[in-house]
Amino acid sequence: MMRAYTVPPTDFIREIIDDDLKDGKNDGRVATRFPPEPNGYIHIGHAKSICLNFGIAAQYGGTCNLRFDDTDPSGESLEYVESIIDNINWLGFDWKGRQYFASDYFERLYQFAVQLIEAGKAYVCSLSADETREYRGTFTEPGTKSPYRDRTIDENLDLFARMRAGEFPDGAHVLRAKIDMASPNIVMRDPVLYRIKRGPHYRTGDTWVIYPMYDFAHCLSDALEGITHSICTLEFENNRPLYDWILDQLLESERPRQIEFARLNISYTVLSKRVLIELVEKGHVKGWDDPRMPTVAGMRRRGYPPEAIREFCAQIGIAKNDNLIDVALLEHCVREELNEKAPRAVAVLRPLRVIIDNYPDGQVEEFECPYHPQNPTMGTRMLPFSRILCIERDDFNEDPPGKYKRLAPGREVRLRNAYVIKYESMVKDEKTGEVVEVHCTYDPETRNAPPADGHKVKGVIHWLSAKHSVPAEVRLYDRLFQVPNPAGEDEAFTRYLNPESLEALTSCCVESNLKDAVPGDRYQFERLGYFCVDSRDSAPGRPVFNRVVALRDTWEKIAGQGKK
């Protein structure tokens, strides 16, 4: 029983690469990179980019670098670097030691900037931030040249060196490219290349007080690493002419080629780092790896298998236009993976005591149960049966509606893999009126057999022997946001948070085989869904489970490709 994963279909990026190879570009090399800024944990959107960049490298026998794009001292940290490394590894990708930091290029980037100044292609500008904005013009009006635009090369070299030496306060000057203030593309109107910004950098400390802007650092980092295809998201489309301009001024050799694709958006989810940071910092979730977070760390802790995330990325493919992917597709991929791989187990989330009056006190029987109904190679385990059981509270109904097939006054039900039991009486809490105990009798002839008279028992429920079961906590998750497109709503995204996104059930019981369940292990709890042992809060003898996904699949219905 081998699962067939989707092979990413060809797409416009792979077609570009095919053409470049046909044209003999880059000596037949294909070199990509994944360039995260270490200012947050990576999320499912990054996973799409990771699958694309590493996938292309693997497909073409090329390389994919992991490059930390760490050119902004604020908000970057080693914790983020480590989390990114750990999570890309967990997703199943290996950069084979090709790990780089843009901050390692600071000196070379500085020298490139000097080279631009010497060529008369960059100048130090002393307009304030507000003035710079005014001078830039609008979509309909051209910009105005800065009064500092005609500084001499020597003056520029001197000022730039003194910017580096820390002689000026933050914001006093910037280095700008001298391109075209009348360009219809605003990005090309003398863009800022360097700014003065103090604040220790997590790797270079106080060595630098000037930092290169993304547009300057990124293309040159690509070039320094010999990247052939620099894949980024659509919002950089307008920056491509600048990417090319900078490299054309400074490089003799063939330059990397920037290609943009549509970023991933998922319904009921926000994938903006700014928002994710706020969710964490304001305590709306419990950290970056909160199982409700769309981060790789969150999905991993929740119990999403890496294979499912990769399959999802393969299925959504690569497009040139922004779209919103239904989160149900991601959940579908998770469910498909777990349906095949997760061993079955029994848990009772909201227990109700059932006493089998005619079952001998102290007697224990064991029932052999398969770990997977379709896969005998996964083996079996024993489930003990005794006089006092627990069943799900909602598998008993005092006043059942018409179609109810489970336990109720005057009715019988089959205990899965065991006996048929019949209702006798119930005990209620005197104060609350809540049913606290149900008494039944069992028919010893029905052990995995129909009743002697052959009549059909309609309902089947799961159960655990009370004294053999293990207490557990189970956390049920719902979507973090209540609206399909929270990112598209106004700024106050917290208004759309789902107050019921977490329900912690603290008095569950699970079968004794799960007593020492290992963090990260995943199970299908029969009739309930898929669950994963929590990696933070679970303890031997007191397991904590996260619900990964429910059993029911809404995707097949939506997509109209139901198999049943």
Tokens of 73: 């001292």
CB of residue 526 to ligand ATP, shortest distance in Å:
36
Which listed residue (273, 468, 522, 547) binds ligand ATP by CB under 6 A?
273
Q: Does 46 bind ligand ATP (CB under 6 A)?
A: yes
* Residue 323 near residue 504, CB atoms below 8 Å: no
Q: Does 212 bind ligand ATP (CB under 6 A)?
A: no
178 vs 218 by CB, closer to ligand ATP: 218
Tokens of 182: 């009348």
Which one of the listed residues 151, 273, 300, 387 is annotated catalytic?
273
263 vs 447 by CB, closer to ligand ATP: 263
236 vs 463 by CB, closer to ligand ATP: 236
Q: What is the largest CA-CA distance in the chain?
A: 104
Question: By CB under 6 A, which span of 6-14, 46-54, 135-143, 481-489 interacts with ligand ATP?
Answer: 46-54
Question: By CB under 6 A, which span of 33-41, 92-100, 380-388, 499-507 interacts with ligand ATP?
Answer: 33-41
Query: Which residues, other chains included, contact 396 with Cβ-Cβ below 8 Å and sequence gap of 6+?
Result: 352, 354, 406, 407, 408, 435, 438
Q: Does 48 bind ligand ATP (CB under 6 A)?
A: yes
Q: With CB under 6 A as the rule, give the number of residues binding ligand ATP.
A: 15
Q: Does 229 bind ligand ATP (CB under 6 A)?
A: no
Which one of the listed residues 25, 37, 145, 336 is annotated catalytic?
37
The residue type found at 408 is A
CA-based Rg of the chain, rounded to a whole angstrom? 31
Specify whether 37 is catalytic.
yes
Q: Which of 257, 275, 255 is nearest to 265 (CA)?
A: 275
Pairing of strands 351-356, 388-392: antiparallel
Tokens of 397: 């109904």
Specify whether 273 is catalytic.
yes
Which listed residue (29, 263, 344, 393) binds ligand ATP by CB under 6 A?
263
* Residue 531 near residue 547, CB atoms below 8 Å: yes
201 vs 273 by CB, closer to ligand ATP: 273
**Residue 56 neighbours by CB distance under 10 Å:** 22
The residue type found at 160 is F
49 vs 87 by CB, closer to ligand ATP: 49
Q: Does 255 bind ligand ATP (CB under 6 A)?
A: no
| Residue nearest ligand ATP, CB atom distance | 45
- Which secondary-structure segment (H or E) carries 530? strand 529-533
Which listed residue (13, 31, 32, 49) binds ligand ATP by CB under 6 A?
49
Q: Does 8 bind ligand ATP (CB under 6 A)?
A: no
Q: Helices 44-59 and 78-91 sit at what angle, rounded to 10 degrees?
A: 60
CB of residue 133 to ligand ATP, shortest distance in Å:
22
Which listed residue (17, 193, 246, 264) binds ligand ATP by CB under 6 A?
264
* Residue 447 near residue 417, CB atoms below 8 Å: no
Q: Does 303 bind ligand ATP (CB under 6 A)?
A: no
**Residue 154 neighbours by CB distance under 10 Å:** 10
Residues present in the chain in total: 564
Cα–Cα distances in Å, from 366 out to 82, 386, 416?
Answer: 47, 9, 13
CB of residue 231 to ligand ATP, shortest distance in Å:
7
Which one of the listed residues 121, 145, 149, 263 is annotated catalytic?
263
Query: Which residues, other chains included, contact 449 with Cβ-Cβ below 8 Å and sequence gap of 6+?
Result: none
Catalytically active residues are 37, 263, 273
Site residues (vs ligand ATP, CB under 6 A): 35-37, 45-46, 48-49, 69, 232-233, 263-264, 271-273
